[in-house]
Structure 1
Amino acid sequence: MAFVMAAIGSAVGLGNIWRFPYVCYQNGGGAFLIPYFVALFTVGIPLLMVEFAVGKWFGSAAPRSFARISKKWEWAGWWAVLAAFVIAVYYSVIMAWCLSYIAHSSGLVWGSNAAAFFDQFLGKTTSPFIAGSLNMQIVFALLFIWTAIYLILYKGVRSIEWAIAFTVPVPTLLLVILAVRGVTLPGAMEGLSFYLTPHFAELASPSVWLAAYAQIFFSLSLAQGIMIAYASYLRKDSDVTNNACIAALADGGIAFLAGFAVFSVLGYLSHSTGVAVSEAAGSGLGLAFITYPTAISELPVAAALFGAIFFLVLLTFGINSAFSMIESVRAAVTEKGFSKHRATLAICILGFALSVPLATGAGSYWVDVADHFISNFGLVL
């Protein structure tokens, strides 16, 4: 059970909340679910089973496991580990924003112009090549995030099990609360129609199918060495088929639920302001930090509470994924002879150091760039 929870926790990350709903809408609405589930059953679950089987069989992290298959394939394991580390670095920045926004939620300080507040909060510059000033609030939040990751991984499997006992069920329950609250709001059905109405003509586009397969790779933590590292702790009699099916279907279910939580509230925003849902819906980071906070501000009751819940969901799902990515890196490094504690400390310090430049005014540009290329090309390749 602990292994399945860890796998689900790794798979269910920030992308399920702010990436899947928009990708679904952008690529045919309800029709996107067809290539999504085709990708899930033709690639997602089979590859998840393979990664579980490789980790269980060889009892090693990705690089050594691939090396045992063939020495010439060890590089593929290190590529997966590198991808996990890069994602963890920019994930930590988004989590730092979430942590700051939880504090800001108490007074809904973004007001009715969340876009202006977001840019002001980040000190956003006009170009990715103009760094601007360093935001110390984000830096301290990053320090907190990386310290939390270090403490979760400090005692290895035992401390990971303690962490996932909270970081998997609690945000899932909070997401259910957000979805239930969302669908009871006036205009919610308009938002859900916008999210789910199928546009079957989009299925003829190769880009829609690429988006579906890319989402599966990103969402299930495939090709990052994470599942291989986790599965290396499994007993030889563990059922990898059953575990893979449970983890994959749980991940897809939570992503689908996130769409209800997000687009029902966007429907309410459209109902309250008269702005069409198509104009209200943002993409990626804008959906999480601009559009949704704007909608939250319009709630008649407990707006601050639901704002805090939303960003707490993002934070806890994000930290779940982040420590699993760093576990993938640590497992690979320790197999080269480094002690677990020193490797964990060194990796977290390096991750913090690399994330600090993303706390400048140009940081959001580079987070977008990294997310686009890693999720659409790096993992699939």
Structure 2
Amino acid sequence: MKRERWGSKSIFILAAIGSAVGLGNAWRFPGQAYANGGGAFFIPYFVALLTAGLPLLIMELAIGKKYQSGAPTAFRKMGKKKGFEWIGWWPLATSFVIVSYYAIIMAWTFNYLWHSLSMAWSSGSEDFFYGEVLQLTESPGVLGGFNVPILIGLVLTWIFVWYCIRNGVQSVGKIVKWTVPVPIALLVILGIRALTLPGAMEGINYYLSPNWSKLLDINVWAAAYGQIFFSLSVLFGIMIAYSSFLPEDADVPANGIIIAFSNSIISFIAGFAVFGTLGFLQHSTGILIEDMTVAGPGLAFVTYPAAMAELPGGIWVQVIFSLTFFLMLLTLGIDSAFSIVEGIVTGLVDKFGWNKRKTVTAVCIAGLAGGLIFATNAGLYWLDIVDHWVNDYNLIIIGIVECIVVGWIYGANKLRDYFNSTSNVKFGKWWEIMIKYVTPLSLLVINVLYLVDNLKEAYDGYDMQYLIIGGWGVVLVTIIVGFIFTVLKGKEDTQAS
């Protein structure tokens, strides 16, 4: 069967940028800058981009294009052994877990779009988010039943995801023409508006002012590498799947450079929008920026809405900019969500030869089912635990394994020769050095730091039983699922027998 192809080079780049640019740009990057030295954080961030993010991105794009397959089949072909499939299935199993809880954030966003019409959080954004929207229980062990509005939002999210990729890359191509430029335009609008608000420059100064002493803290460097890994959509199997639909003459290095730097520029712009708004909030409420929540869901659903409720111009101005903000979050998130599903679907279709549309439907239904625990009143706790372990352990170890396989077993020099052969941008030996030494070592250091932190004290004060179930337990399940799909017979095995 003839492989699908992107409609054009620009559509592929848009899709890849859409996958890379997500909620990590809108709230994780500003939060990392806030916590790790302000303007000084940009130095380790760009070092991490050049020494790890870009090399890994180029590696995965080249693997997908060379083997014209999703991650499992591509690694099987690369190693010429069935056991190498596991290196592709493990990230896809991890991706499935991630998209299961990523979708719940979209569900929250759907609810906030509705509540934006009345600015329902005006009397207190923190109580509104944790009390009225999430109806949060006292611990992960008290599920409290399903949160019906969130459950409805979750169903809507999966319907959107299914619609976006129901016809493979052809439907993705049509969707990303809107879902990539629209949130970027909305982000620019929010940034311009933020810069015109009283007090905005105090926030921008906080964002850009460097605390150089932070550069001596190894944890700041670890945070920078972590931000790069988690915001470029590498190690998920996504970029391998997306690049498998490229023609043989595609320029991998040029595409990778465009994708990587577009992602970083958008993160930088998001920082201006966020910190300009935080400066205004400090000006209007007297709450110092250093005392605000500037990370994760707290930024998007507590601090930013509080600022929207203070905007001058009356209720209609507040409603318009609240709708703009949450529409931006929704469109940023939906691209990343459906790209993860596309990576999983591509891996399944390539191995088993299943009908793609039916596979998309099945994966979406499974993703909805897998995310049900996050739609309970204890959902935020479980999201926090699962996200911490899956991101801070699974993805990092996957990166180390991929670097070892490509750098030392297959040969980084062979892959470099391959992608250079069709590129106007030639990568030198430095790329091999990154893949063989710098990237895996940096990943190993980050993983050890995270492990030490979690051994010293229970993560976020949760009871150990919940960390074992939602943390180590989920990690183990992804590893086992990877092995199960590796040993299952695929279409090639059936033909061979």
**Between 160-169 and 72-81, the greater mean CA deviation after superposition:** 72-81
Q: Is the 8 A contact 1:186 1:268 kept in 2?
A: yes
Q: 1:84 aligns with which of 81, 95, 105?
A: 95
Q: 2:393 aligns with which of 373, 377, 380?
A: 377
- Greater relative contact order (CA < 8 Å, ≥ 6 in sequence): 1
Q: 1:110 aligns with which of 118, 121, 124?
A: 121
Asked if 1:340 is matched to 2:356, the reply is: yes
Question: Which residue pairs with 1:29 in the alignment?
Answer: 38
Question: Which residue pairs with 1:179 in the alignment?
Answer: 191
Q: 1:99 aligns with which of 100, 110, 118?
A: 110
Ranges in structure 1 where 5+ consecutive residues have no aligned partner: none
Question: Which residue pairs with 2:234 in the alignment?
Answer: 222
Q: Equivalents in 1 of 2:146, 2:258: separation in Å?
A: 43
Q: Is the 8 A contact 2:34 2:294 kept in 1?
A: no
Q: 2:382 aligns with which of 366, 374, 379?
A: 366
Question: Which residue pairs with 1:276 in the alignment?
Answer: 288
**Between 24-33 and 164-173, the greater mean CA deviation after superposition:** 24-33
Residues 1-381 of structure 1 aligned to structure 2 (within 5 Å):
1-70=10-79, 71=81, 72-120=83-131, 121-301=133-313, 302-337=317-352, 338-381=354-397
- Counterpart of 1:250 in structure 2: which amino acid? S
Q: Is the 8 A contact 2:164 2:338 kept in 1?
A: yes
Q: Equivalents in 2 of 1:313, 1:184: separation in Å?
A: 20
Q: Structure 1 pair 190/281, CA: closer, same or farther in 2 (3 Å)?
A: farther
Instruction: Determine helix, strand or coil for the equivalent of 2:351.
Output: coil
Q: Equivalents in 2 of 1:238, 1:289: separation in Å?
A: 41
Q: Is the 8 A contact 1:214 1:379 kept in 2?
A: no
Q: Equivalents in 1 of 2:388, 2:207: separation in Å?
A: 22
Q: Is the 8 A contact 1:56 1:236 kept in 2?
A: yes
Q: CA deviation at 1:284?
A: 0.8
- Counterpart of 1:41 in structure 2: which amino acid? L
Q: Equivalents in 1 of 2:216, 2:249: separation in Å?
A: 43
Q: CA deviation at 1:377?
A: 2.7
Q: Equivalents in 2 of 1:198, 1:339: separation in Å?
A: 53
Q: Is the 8 A contact 2:187 2:273 kept in 1?
A: yes
Q: Equivalents in 1 of 2:108, 2:195: separation in Å?
A: 27
Q: Equivalents in 2 of 1:336, 1:67: separation in Å?
A: 10
Q: Equivalents in 2 of 1:133, 1:193: separation in Å?
A: 45
Q: Equivalents in 2 of 1:376, 1:196: separation in Å?
A: 27
Q: Deviation string for 1:38-60 (max 9, x for gaps)?
A: 01111111111111110000000
Q: CA deviation at 1:375?
A: 2.9
Larger Rg: 2
Q: Equivalents in 1 of 2:94, 2:41: separation in Å?
A: 26
Q: CA deviation at 1:200?
A: 1.3
**Between 335-344 and 102-111, the greater mean CA deviation after superposition:** 335-344
Q: Equivalents in 2 of 1:257, 1:377: separation in Å?
A: 29
Ranges in structure 2 where 5+ consecutive residues have no aligned partner: 1-9, 398-497
- Counterpart of 1:203 in structure 2: which amino acid? L
Q: Deviation string for 1:7-35 (max 9, x for gaps)?
A: 10000011111111001111111111111
Q: Deviation string for 1:217-259 (max 9, x for gaps)?
A: 1100010000000000101111011100000000001111111
Q: Equivalents in 1 of 2:120, 2:51: separation in Å?
A: 45
Instruction: Determine helix, strand or coil for the equivalent of 1:19.
Output: helix
Q: Is the 8 A contact 2:30 2:294 kept in 1?
A: no
**Between 110-119 and 219-228, the greater mean CA deviation after superposition:** 110-119
Instruction: Determine helix, strand or coil for the equivalent of 1:316.
Output: helix
Instruction: Determine helix, strand or coil for the equivalent of 2:120.
Output: coil
TM-score, normalisation: structure 2: 0.75
**Between 202-211 and 60-69, the greater mean CA deviation after superposition:** 202-211
Q: CA deviation at 1:361?
A: 1.1
Q: CA deviation at 1:112?
A: 3.5
Q: Is the 8 A contact 1:296 1:307 kept in 2?
A: yes
Q: Deviation string for 1:333-354 (max 9, x for gaps)?
A: 1122222122111110010011
Q: Equivalents in 1 of 2:94, 2:194: separation in Å?
A: 35
- Counterpart of 2:128 in structure 1: which amino acid? F
Q: Is the 8 A contact 1:93 1:358 kept in 2?
A: yes
